[in-house]
Amino acid sequence: MTPIPAGISLDTLSELPQYPVGTSFGSDIDAVNEILLSDTDEQTKRAAFLDWAARHQPCVFGRMATKVGAPARGLAMNLCWIDEQVLAAGPHAIAERIAADRRTWKEQAARGKSSAFLVIFNSRCLAHARPSPEFARLCTDLASLYLTELAPVLSDVIYTEAIPLRGRDGVLRLFKGSVQLFHTGAHLRRHHDRRIPGGVMISVNGPGHYANSLVTQGICADLSESAPMVRSLAARSIGAGGRGDERALSTTWHRDLAARDTTRWFSAAYHLDVLVQSDVVSDPRPRTGPCPAHEQWSWLHLDYIDARETSPTDPTHGWFHGVPVPEHDLHHNPWLPVVPIDAPDFNY
């Protein structure tokens, strides 16, 4: 049995503050929710979610990874689906399901077949949950059932997943992956670009793993070819939000649009890599105007997306240059949580 921290019961799921009946989350999400919150089968729900993500996600990587059929530019993902039945079975059942799918994903990632992992908690209560302190606490509990090796997950902290890849030299390496939270109730809130249909999602993506897998797949000759392409895709995601409602604004933005593809710094209304940012996921107020300066994260950067060599003493080591590990560490996660600071010299 997968160990989980004491005190996680999810009994509060049915007590979460809810949006009023009839609340719209945008016509795109409303249409998909008709399927995701129905009694239809899981495969139909999976297909509906992936179709939405491939068309409506602001993140370019997200749209590519969820495209049905052959992976777009060699980028593929694995999907773990937690439905109402699994949620009702309790924390141990949830943790077991995630752990099994996580192992399968990492085995595929090691072969360069997947660089992203999505865990969907598909539930009517979660899909209608209003941002609140209760919702924030539940999200940390759900995250604890995924990152069991780092549990209990705390709010306002950066958590990093380890994504394995066996290089063309036969060496197994671990790459850092960003762990992020999405949910339906983010619609028209401070984190509008983290809206999804159907409930809550924990998403993991590894741009460096993807860049290196392009080499192992033979799509690119080396990192000097794949890294600029991945950086350009990341830069295109910034400022591409505000979808799903004409009142919404993108929650990320470039400082210099003219230098978009070579930009070093960008800003956002929240820290993109904080798994559960408490002041964001607990704030129910609609946001349809510019983000106030005191809430902005101004020193977010793309410098880590680079083919240059890094040493183990570099805080960004592991993003684009993996850490060699023995085969028995394929499922190991060596990276500890980090408390973020909004400063130009902060790195992780």
The answer to whether the CB of 204 falls within 8 A of the CB of 159 is no
- Residue 347 falls inside a structural domain: no
- Residue 344 falls inside a structural domain: no
- Distance, in Å, from the CA atom of 264 to the CA atom of 300, rounded to the nearest integer, reads 8
pTM exceeds 0.85 for this model: yes
Backbone angles phi, psi at 139, to 5 degrees: -65, -40
Name the percent of the chain lying above pLDDT 90: 86
Encoded tokens for 149: 């090796």
Name the band, by pLDDT with cuts 50, 70 and 90, for residue 262.
Answer: low
Q: CA separation (Å) from 190 to 6, 123, 235, 270?
A: 32, 22, 21, 8
> Based on the number of CB atoms within 10 Å of its own CB, is 338 exposed (0-12), middle (13-18) or buried (19 or more)?
middle
Q: CA separation (Å) from 8 to 20, 83, 159, 203, 336?
A: 27, 18, 19, 21, 21
The answer to whether the CB of 45 falls within 8 A of the CB of 122 is yes
**pLDDT given for residue 72 in this prediction:** 72
Mean pLDDT for 233-251 is 94
**Domain range holding 38?**
11-329
Name the band, by pLDDT with cuts 50, 70 and 90, for residue 341.
Answer: very high
- Residue 346 falls inside a structural domain: no
Minimum mean pLDDT range among 65-74, 111-120, 209-218, 285-294: 65-74
- Residue 140 falls inside a structural domain: yes
Minimum mean pLDDT range among 113-122, 186-195, 252-261, 284-293: 252-261
Residue 256 pLDDT > 90: no
- Residue 153 falls inside a structural domain: yes
Name the band, by pLDDT with cuts 50, 70 and 90, for residue 255.
Answer: confident
Number of domains in the chain: 1
- Residue 5 falls inside a structural domain: no
Name the band, by pLDDT with cuts 50, 70 and 90, for residue 101.
Answer: very high
- Distance, in Å, from the CA atom of 98 to the CA atom of 112, rounded to the nearest integer, reads 21
- Residue 2 falls inside a structural domain: no
- Residue 334 falls inside a structural domain: no
**Who contacts 331 (Cβ-Cβ below 8 Å, separation ≥6)?**
102, 103, 106, 164
Residue 137 pLDDT > 90: yes
**pLDDT given for residue 33 in this prediction:** 99
